[in-house]
Chains A and B, each alone.
Chain A
């Protein structure tokens, strides 16, 4: 179980209705279903991953978040989760708007391009950074719109989206992000986790 998933699970109360957008093989869904009695659905674009979810007994819809979120009514889920996928969409802003329309709240996690290892990689090696959360080469990465924790923080604020909780994750440690420590967290966290509402 990834630490990220543990932190996400801690943000969600028991017996809630949750949509996991880009649910991959359903690891997080299974954890939430088994441990928190959460009524969870997944949306996943990969046929292979959809099969893995079905094999785990999870309810999953094969589909593309950029097109298929629109079929869900407003506020039809208590939480919508988007784990490390926002940067891979053609239009992340549109997807973010949809997450906040469909969910009463949304939990968005982003791999942090401001992480010191990423900065060092580019500064000293002069090649596109490859880290644990950014494992792909520049030519085969699915990521189209990389951002930093600071970028996302400012972006969300500019859209009048309410941040309930923002957490910085570095290996096994998670800590609260706020206006005053944003610069430090942006340097030392490889993942940002945001609980937001519009």
Chain B
């Protein structure tokens, strides 16, 4: 965590007033870019990452040495073609890949832990907006992201209505549901129940609340998949054994798979960041910011929207995505919508789902031609 090498950082001098009331300044935003900005500066796409993502969208992540989280969608000749577009992604504030977060030090050189201010999706996009000034971009060609990335997309265009030509929220919601909050709370409780958490004041890696964080990840991971997908991939298959062992080791492949997912996650993610970011998601309710009328969030934008959901996504189901479409239609906004058939659950947007990738590519390329 927080490996300083290979992380590009923008220090934001301008004070940022957070929703909680606190003001931060001189804070770092860690970012990465792919492709190149053309001379007209009209080919930039700002990608927002999901809960456990980071700025390393594609290629090999230099910190984890694994493939970037959106490698299927972003890269040369891919749906978001980096031969054509300049892709920018930054780590959200509250995160743990270089942007200002709970593992950073406060002005007294003490690690923040839970003294870091509670942040919101609104705070995240306001912080990231500074990247446009940094690159001298007046108007982005597109903003996109799935899950929490989609929430940031919605908040960004609401805050900065004339700063993007196209807007692509994917597998997301305009308001975190009770079920979403419940799953996040389960994860937070797993972390805070770990005796190594110490009210967030853990310091070195060997005493961090890895067990709690792993359980949080395991629970969340189930919500990213579909029942059918799990059944087809794992069923009741046993893990490297002929028969049940009548014990509590991982008899089933699904158990082993989840344990593995949990264990690799703790190597790259900070438990306090997990608390902060899930909290930001839970607080997200765009309609509430506009007195209950979601349409008002988009009333000032002429951007072209394209909303994508997945049939087997039960975490951010089609209806929640459609609610955004309905809010946009009711004000005559330019909005397209497609529900992609996939058994891969909420994670579909991260995976090789050809119908999704084709729709994304066609929408972007055709919209860019019309420029």
Residues of A within 8 A of B (CB): 41, 47, 50-51, 54-63, 71-73, 76
Verify if B229 is at the interface (C-beta below 8 Å from A). Answer: no
Interface residues contributed by chain B, number (CB under 8 Å): 23
Residue of A nearest to B329 (CB): A71
In the bound complex, residues from chain B placing their C-beta under 8 Å from that of A41 are 334
In the bound complex, residues from chain B placing their C-beta under 8 Å from that of A50 are 338
- Do B336 and A71 have beta carbons less than 8 Å apart? no
9 A-B pairs with C-beta separation under 8 A = A47-B338, A54-B359, A54-B366, A57-B362, A62-B337, A62-B339, A63-B337, A73-B330, A76-B332
User: Which of B338, B340, B363 counts the most chain A CB atoms within 10 A?
Assistant: B338
Residue among A47, A54, A58, A61 making CB contact with B335, cutoff 8 Å: A61
- Tell me, in angstroms, the Cα distance from A58 to B366 when the chains sit together: 9
User: Contacts A56-B366, A73-B330: A51 and B339 contacting too (C-beta < 8 A)?
Assistant: no
Minimal beta-carbon separation of B295 from chain A (angstroms): 10
- Tell me, in angstroms, the Cα distance from A62 to B336 when the chains sit together: 8
- Do A61 and B336 have beta carbons less than 8 Å apart? yes
Residue among A55, A60, A73 making CB contact with B336, cutoff 8 Å: A60
Residue among A54, A71, A76 making CB contact with B363, cutoff 8 Å: A54
User: Contacts A47-B341, A51-B355: A59 and B334 contacting too (C-beta < 8 A)?
Assistant: yes
In the bound complex, residues from chain B placing their C-beta under 8 Å from that of A62 are 337-339
Residue among A54, A56, A71, A73 making CB contact with B338, cutoff 8 Å: A54
- Tell me, in angstroms, the Cα distance from A50 to B339 when the chains sit together: 9
In the bound complex, residues from chain B placing their C-beta under 8 Å from that of A47 are 338-341, 355
In the bound complex, residues from chain B placing their C-beta under 8 Å from that of A58 are 336
In the bound complex, residues from chain B placing their C-beta under 8 Å from that of A56 are 366
Q: A51-B355, A61-B325, A73-B330 are in contact. List 14 more A-B contacts (CB 8 A).
A: A41-B334, A47-B341, A47-B355, A51-B338, A54-B363, A55-B358, A55-B362, A57-B370, A58-B336, A59-B336, A61-B337, A62-B338, A71-B329, A72-B330
- Tell me, in angstroms, the Cα distance from A47 to B355 when the chains sit together: 10
In the bound complex, residues from chain A placing their C-beta under 8 Å from that of B3 are none
In the bound complex, residues from chain B placing their C-beta under 8 Å from that of A55 are 358, 362, 366
- Tell me, in angstroms, the Cα distance from A47 to B338 when the chains sit together: 7
Interface positions, chain B 305-344, Cβ under 8 Å from A, are 325-326, 329-330, 332, 334-341
Minimal beta-carbon separation of A80 from chain B (angstroms): 13
Verify if B243 is at the interface (C-beta below 8 Å from A). Answer: no
- Tell me, in angstroms, the Cα distance from A3 to B339 when the chains sit together: 32
Minimal beta-carbon separation of B158 from chain A (angstroms): 19
Minimal beta-carbon separation of A53 from chain B (angstroms): 8
Minimal beta-carbon separation of A30 from chain B (angstroms): 11
Verify if B304 is at the interface (C-beta below 8 Å from A). Answer: yes
Minimal beta-carbon separation of A193 from chain B (angstroms): 27
In the bound complex, residues from chain A placing their C-beta under 8 Å from that of B64 are none
- How many A-B pairs with Cβ below 8 Å? 54
Residues of B within 8 A of A (CB): 304, 325-326, 329-330, 332, 334-341, 355, 358-359, 362-363, 366-367, 369-370
User: Which of A50, A56, A60, A61 counts the most chain B CB atoms within 10 A?
Assistant: A61
In the bound complex, residues from chain A placing their C-beta under 8 Å from that of B304 are 59
Minimal beta-carbon separation of B321 from chain A (angstroms): 11
- Tell me, in angstroms, the Cα distance from A55 to B354 when the chains sit together: 13
Minimal beta-carbon separation of B167 from chain A (angstroms): 13
Residue of A nearest to B304 (CB): A59
- Do A51 and B335 have beta carbons less than 8 Å apart? no
User: Which of A55, A58, A76 counts the most chain B CB atoms within 10 A?
Assistant: A55
Minimal beta-carbon separation of A20 from chain B (angstroms): 13
- Do B332 and A54 have beta carbons less than 8 Å apart? no
- Tell me, in angstroms, the Cα distance from A41 to B334 when the chains sit together: 8
Residue among B325, B341, B355, B366 making CB contact with A57, cutoff 8 Å: B366
Minimal beta-carbon separation of A57 from chain B (angstroms): 3
User: Which of A50, A54, A58, A73 counts the most chain B CB atoms within 10 A?
Assistant: A54
- Tell me, in angstroms, the Cα distance from A114 to B105 when the chains sit together: 81
- Do B332 and A51 have beta carbons less than 8 Å apart? no
The 10 closest A-B pairs by CB, nearest first: A57-B366, A71-B326, A61-B337, A59-B336, A55-B362, A54-B362, A71-B329, A62-B338, A50-B338, A54-B359
- Tell me, in angstroms, the Cα distance from A73 to B332 when the chains sit together: 8
Residue of A nearest to B328 (CB): A71
- Do A57 and B326 have beta carbons less than 8 Å apart? no
- Do A71 and B325 have beta carbons less than 8 Å apart? yes
Residue of B nearest to A48 (CB): B355
In the bound complex, residues from chain A placing their C-beta under 8 Å from that of B341 are 47
- Tell me, in angstroms, the Cα distance from A168 to B325 when the chains sit together: 37
In the bound complex, residues from chain A placing their C-beta under 8 Å from that of B338 are 47, 50-51, 54, 60, 62
- Tell me, in angstroms, the Cα distance from A62 to B307 when the chains sit together: 10
- Tell me, in angstroms, the Cα distance from A56 to B362 when the chains sit together: 8
In the bound complex, residues from chain A placing their C-beta under 8 Å from that of B366 are 54-57
Minimal beta-carbon separation of B165 from chain A (angstroms): 14
Minimal beta-carbon separation of B345 from chain A (angstroms): 18
User: Contacts A71-B325, A71-B326, A73-B330: A57 and B336 contacting too (C-beta < 8 A)?
Assistant: no
Minimal beta-carbon separation of B312 from chain A (angstroms): 14
- Do A54 and B370 have beta carbons less than 8 Å apart? no
User: Contacts A47-B341, A59-B304: A54 and B326 contacting too (C-beta < 8 A)?
Assistant: no
